[in-house]
Amino acid sequence: MSALPTSSPTATVSEAPGAPAVLRSRRPRTLKAFRAGPGTYALLTIGSAIFMVPLIFVVSISLSTDQTVSSGQLSVIPREFHWQNFVDIFATTLPVGQFFINSVIISVTSAFGQVLSSSLVGFAFARLRAPGKRIIFYIVIATMMIPAQITMIPQFFIFTELGWIDTFLPLIAPQFFSNAFNIFLVRQFVTRIPLEIDEAAAIDGLGFFGIYWRLILPMMLPILIAISIFTMTAMWGDFMGPLIYINSEEKMPLALGVQYLTSTSQDLQTPPWNLIMVGSIFLSLPMILIYYFGQRYMYEMNLSAGSAGVK
C-alpha cells in the first residue's frame, strides 16, 4: 500500500490562492542599499556650490587690490590675483604673526588638557567601583544644561581674584577640568571595552592607574583624537573668551586679532577688507586641514557608543 504524499501546513496555506498576502510571503525582507542616481548627484552638486559661495567670496576679496576694495567693486569670482596681500598682512601695525602663535599655544594646550582630564574621568566612571558613582555621573551630565552665560560673570570674578586677567590662564586652565560632553564620550567608549582585559591585567599585578595608562589609554586613541579636534576647533575660533580676559595686543589670539584689523583704518576710510579676508583664511585653513587628516579617527570614534547605555 503506497504512502500518501505529505506536505507541510505552512506550504499548503502559503500556496493556496485565497490565502492572505502575509501568509503567502514567507521570505524574509531585506533592506535595499540606497543607490544614488544622476538626480541625487545633481542636487548634491548644487547644494555644495551654494555652500561654497561664501568661501569663494572670501578668497576673491583676499586677492583684491587696495584700489578694488576702496572702490567697492568686489565680486564672487576673482578678477585679480594680488598674492602680495598674504605677505602684507604681516606688515600691518598689528602683530599678526604673534596672533597666530598665541592661537596655536592656546589651542594645543587646551586640547592636551581636555584629552588628559577627559580620559581620566571617563575611565574612572566606566571602571571604578564606588558608592554613588551613578548619581555623580548624572550630576556631571546635568551640567550640560547650564548655559555658559550664567557662569561667565562668576568665572570673571574668580580669575580676577587670582590675578589671571590679561594672561592665557583663564582660557587654558578650565580645559584641564574637562567638560560633561567629553567625559560622556570617553565613558561610553570605555564601557564597550571588555572588562576581562582589566581583570587579566589585575591578575598580572597592574593597578588601577597601570590599567589606564598601559592598556585602556592606547585603545582610546580614536575618541581622544576626536576630542582634541573638537577642542582645538572651539579654542582656535573662540572670540568671546579672549575678548573678556585679554587686553594686550601681543597676547591676543588670531580670532580676536582679525577683528582688530578693522580698526587699523582711519576715520571715514574703508577697512582693509582684503587683509581681513586673508586673516579669515588663516583662521579657517588650519581647522580644515586638521579635520581632513583626523576625520577617519572621528569615524572610528563611533558616536553610536552611546548604545552601551548608562549603566
Judge whether 136 lies within some domain: yes
Average pLDDT value for the chain: 84
Q: How many residues does the chain have?
A: 311
Last residue of a domain, one of 83, 108, 138: 83
Same domain, 213 and 64: no
Same domain, 244 and 216: yes
Report the alpha-carbon distance of residue 276 to residue 85 in Å, rounded: 10
Report the alpha-carbon distance of residue 115 to residue 273 in Å, rounded: 37
pLDDT for 241: 93
Domain count along the chain: 2
Is residue 68 predicted with pLDDT exceeding 90?
A: no
Q: What is the pTM of this model?
A: 0.79
Is residue 14 predicted with pLDDT exceeding 70?
A: no
Same domain, 124 and 60: no
Judge whether 24 lies within some domain: no
Q: Tell me the one-letter amino acid at 53.
A: V
pLDDT for 91: 86
Report the alpha-carbon distance of residue 125 to residue 188 in Å, rounded: 9
| Domain span holding position 42 | 38-83
Is residue 138 predicted with pLDDT exceeding 90?
A: yes
Inter-residue contact 210 to 284 (CB < 8 Å):
no
| CATH (domain of 175) | 1.10.3720.10
Average of per-residue pLDDT across 47-72: 88
Half-sphere CA count of 113, side-chain side, radius 13 A? 19
Judge whether 167 lies within some domain: yes
Torsion from C-alpha of 16, 18, 23, 29, nearest 10 degrees: 100
pLDDT for 210: 92
Torsion from C-alpha of 87, 93, 98, 102, nearest 10 degrees: -120
- The region of weakest confidence among 31-40, 125-134, 166-175, 222-231 is 31-40
Last residue of a domain, one of 83, 115, 141: 83
Same domain, 105 and 79: no
Q: How confident is the model at residue 20 (pLDDT cuts 50, 70, 90)?
A: low
DSSP string computed for 194-206: -HHHHHHHHHTT-
pLDDT for 13: 43
pLDDT for 86: 92
Four-residue CA torsion sign, 3, 4, 10, 11 = positive
Same domain, 112 and 189: yes
Judge whether 4 lies within some domain: no
- What is the rounded radius of gyration, in angstroms, for the C-alpha atoms of the chain? 29
How large a percentage of the chain has pLDDT more than 90? Answer: 48
Same domain, 103 and 192: yes
Q: How confident is the model at residue 268 (pLDDT cuts 50, 70, 90)?
A: low
pLDDT for 308: 45
Same domain, 217 and 171: yes
Report the alpha-carbon distance of residue 279 to residue 89 in Å, rounded: 8
> In 3-state terms, the chain is what percent helix, strand and coil (to 5)?
70, 0, 30
E-strand stretches of 13-109: none
Report the alpha-carbon distance of residue 166 to residue 55 in Å, rounded: 33
Is residue 17 predicted with pLDDT exceeding 60?
A: no
Q: Which residue has the higher pLDDT, 264 or 104?
A: 104
Is residue 8 predicted with pLDDT exceeding 50?
A: no
- DSSP code of residue 268: T
Residues with Cβ < 8 Å from 3, sequence gap 6 or more? none
Same domain, 283 and 144: yes
Average of per-residue pLDDT across 183-192: 92
> pLDDT tens across 153-163, in order?
999 999 999 99
